[in-house]
Structure 1
Amino acid sequence: MKRIFYLPLIISIFLSCKSTTGDSDQDTTAAGRLDQSQDLMHQFKPLINGLWVKKDYIKKVKKSKSPLEAVEKGVGITVMYIDTAQLKGDSIMVPVVLNNHEGANTALRFQAGKNTTTVELGNDELSYKVKNGDTTLIIYSYNEKTKETNTAQYIKAMQNKPAGGLAQGMSFMINQAILSGDYEGTDASGKKILAKFDDNGNVTGLPGLTTYFVQNDLIADPQHSHDEIIFNLNTEGQKAYSFIFNKRTLNLYDSADKTQSNKPSFSLKKKRE
C-alpha cells in the first residue's frame, strides 16, 4: 500500500525536471541567436553605412559613356542607403531604388544567412569584402526557378543620403563617369563656348542653362533610342538634348531622332585634367 502512495510524488518530480530541462534548452538557443546577432552587428556596422550604387552598372556607363548602353546592368536594386543609426532590435529598414525607376524599402536583419559571412536582406543576403581599404557590398539572390545564386556588387557613392533622395546619389556617380569636367567648343552658329559640368549636376557656360540631369530611368521606356540630358529640370526653362559622347567630344542635339545626321547644337571637347 505504501508504494501506491509514493508513486504520484515520483511522477511529479520527473515531470518537473523534464519541464525545467526543456526551458533551459530554449533559453540557451535564444541566447545563442542573440549573441550571434550582436556579433554580426559588431562585424557589419562599421562598414555598411552610406549610399551604395550598383558597381557593374556604373562601370558600364563609364566605359560606354552611355546609360542606354548600360541599361541591361541597371536591373534589380541599383541604389540603397544604409543608416545603422536607424537600427531597431536586430533590423534596419533600407530604402532602395529598383531598376533605376521606383523606390521601395527592404529589411536588413542581423541574422546569419546561409553562412556566418552573410546577413538577411529581404529575401536575399548581404555580405561585404574589403580590398586596399575600400569596401564593396555584395547581394546574393537565390533564383528558385533556375536554382542559381546571382550576385551583385555595390560601391559607396557618398556617406550621407542627399537632400534630393537616393536617385541623386546615382546621378552623382553617372555625372562623374560621363560628363564632369571643363569643355571648350562651339554652338551651332560657331560661337565659342567654354562650359563646365560638375559632379552635383550644375553647369556653367551654356546660355540660360544652370543644371543638368543625365536620363537613366530607361527600363520604363524600352523604346528609348537615344541618350538624353535634361537641363533646368522641372523649371519653365527645361530643355532636353540628346547626346553622343565620342572619345572626348560631347555633341548635344535638338533632334532626338536624327542625332547622327543633324548638326549639333553644341559640340564640346573635354579638356584633359
Structure 2
Amino acid sequence: MRHALPLTLAALLLGGCASHKPEDFNGTWINQAAIDAASKGTSLRQALDAKGPVFEWKIDVKNQQASFSNGFEAADGRLSANEKDWQVNFEGDLTEQLKLNGDELVTIDPSGHQQTFMRSKAPEGAALGGSFEKALYQQYLGGDWKIVEGQGKGGLVRFSDTGNVTGLPGPDRFALCLAGDCATMGDGNDSLWLERNQRGAPWIFKRDGDTLEIFQAVNRAQPDEMPQLTAGARQWVLEKD
C-alpha cells in the first residue's frame, strides 16, 4: 500500500499532461514533410537539410523509451511527463519536448526548433530509421524509370523500397545518402551507393522532375584529405515512364 499513492499520482500525471492518451504517442513516426519536399523532384540534399535534422522517432510509453534517427546516427532517451506534454532526456543533458497536434507528432528542441512527424504506415519491427527510408524510396524513386541515355538504353529500371534495383546494368542494390559522412563527402551534391555482390561505389545524381541523371563520382581531395566528390562523366539518364 505504501507505493499505491505514488503510482496513482504518476498515472494521473501521465494521463493528464495532454488531451491525448499516453498510448497515442506509441509507435514509429516519420518526417513526411521531408519526403514530400524531396518528392517534388528537386534536390534530395536540400529537402532533407530544410526539413531535418531528425527523420524518424520510435516511442514506447510503457517502457519510457524514445529514440530518434537523423539518417546517420541514432539516439536513445528516457521518456517522461512534465506539466505540459512529454519530455525526452538524452545523455549530455539534451532534451526534446513532444506533443500531439491532431494526427501529428510535434517535437521541440531547446532552441525552439520544431519538427512534425506522421505515424508510419509500415509494419512495426523495422530497425530505427528504416521506416523513413522505406517511405522515402517509395515516393522519391518509386515506379518505372526508362533508360534514355547510357548502357541499357530503352530498358526499364525499378528501385524498390528495400534497396534492390533492377534493370540498371551492373548493380542490383542501392542506397541514397541521407546524412553523415556520405553527405559531407558529397560536397552539397546528391549521392547514392550502387553495388553488386557487396562491392560498390558512390555515384552523384541530379533529379529534375521526372529526369534522373547519374554521374561517376570524381574525388577532388588530396590522398590525405577527406574525399570531396563531384560529378564526373554522365553514366545514365533515366526518365519516369
> Into which bin does the TM-score normalised by the smaller protein fall?
0.7 to 0.9
Name which of 59, 62, 66 aligns with 1:94: 66
Q: Does 1:128 align with 2:72?
A: no
Distance (Å, rounded) in 2 between the aligned partners of 1:170 and 1:64: 18
Name which of 194, 197, 200 aligns with 1:238: 200
Contact 1:51 1:159 (C-alpha < 8 Å) held by counterparts: no
SS in 1 for 2:199: coil
| Matched residue type, 2:44 | P
Name which of 101, 105, 109 aligns with 1:141: 109
SS in 2 for 1:176: helix
Post-superposition offset of 1:140: 2.3
Q: CA RMSD in A?
A: 3.2
Contact 2:42 2:207 (C-alpha < 8 Å) held by counterparts: yes
Q: TM-score, normalising length from structure 2?
A: 0.76
Q: Does 1:268 align with 2:235?
A: no
Post-superposition offset of 1:237: 3.0
What whole-Å deviation, never above 9, does each CA across 1:129-171 have from its counterpart, x for those lacking one? 22xxxx210112333xxxxx33211122334131xx2232232
Post-superposition offset of 1:186: 3.6
Distance change (3 Å), C-alpha of 1:190 and 1:243: same
Distance change (3 Å), C-alpha of 1:188 and 1:40: same
Distance (Å, rounded) in 2 between the aligned partners of 1:189 and 1:202: 19
What is the aligned length? Answer: 223
For structure 2, list consecutive stretches of 5 or more residues without a partner in the other structure. Answer: 90-94, 219-228
SS in 1 for 2:40: helix
| Matched residue type, 2:87 | E
Name which of 155, 158, 161 aligns with 2:125: 161
Matches within 5 A, 1:120-269: 120-122=87-89, 123-130=95-102, 135-143=103-111, 149-157=112-120, 158-162=122-126, 165-189=127-151, 191-218=153-180, 221-222=183-184, 224-225=186-187, 226-232=189-195, 235-256=197-218, 259=231, 262=233, 264-269=234-239
Contact 2:20 2:100 (C-alpha < 8 Å) held by counterparts: no
Q: Which has the higher helix share?
A: 1
Q: Which one has a bigger Cα radius of gyration?
A: 1
Distance (Å, rounded) in 1 between the aligned partners of 2:151 and 2:87: 58
Distance (Å, rounded) in 2 between the aligned partners of 1:218 and 1:238: 18
> What's the counterpart of residue 226 of structure 2?
none
Contact 1:250 1:268 (C-alpha < 8 Å) held by counterparts: yes
Contact 2:152 2:168 (C-alpha < 8 Å) held by counterparts: no
Post-superposition offset of 1:245: 1.3
Matches within 5 A, 1:21-60: 31-39=8-16, 43-60=20-37
What whole-Å deviation, never above 9, does each CA across 1:160-204 have from its counterpart, x for those lacking one? 131xx2232232122123211111124525732211112222211
Post-superposition offset of 1:41: 9.4
Contact 1:171 1:213 (C-alpha < 8 Å) held by counterparts: no
Post-superposition offset of 1:127: 0.8
Contact 2:15 2:22 (C-alpha < 8 Å) held by counterparts: no
What whole-Å deviation, never above 9, does each CA across 1:210-230 have from its counterpart, x for those lacking one? 221111114775452321121
SS in 1 for 2:45: coil
Percent of aligned positions with the same letter in both sequences? 18
> What's the counterpart of residue 40 of structure 2?
63
Distance change (3 Å), C-alpha of 1:70 and 1:32: same
Name which of 108, 115, 124 aligns with 2:79: 108
What whole-Å deviation, never above 9, does each CA across 1:74-129 have from its counterpart, x for those lacking one? 64433211234xx24xxx222222x43211101122x233x2xx122222221112
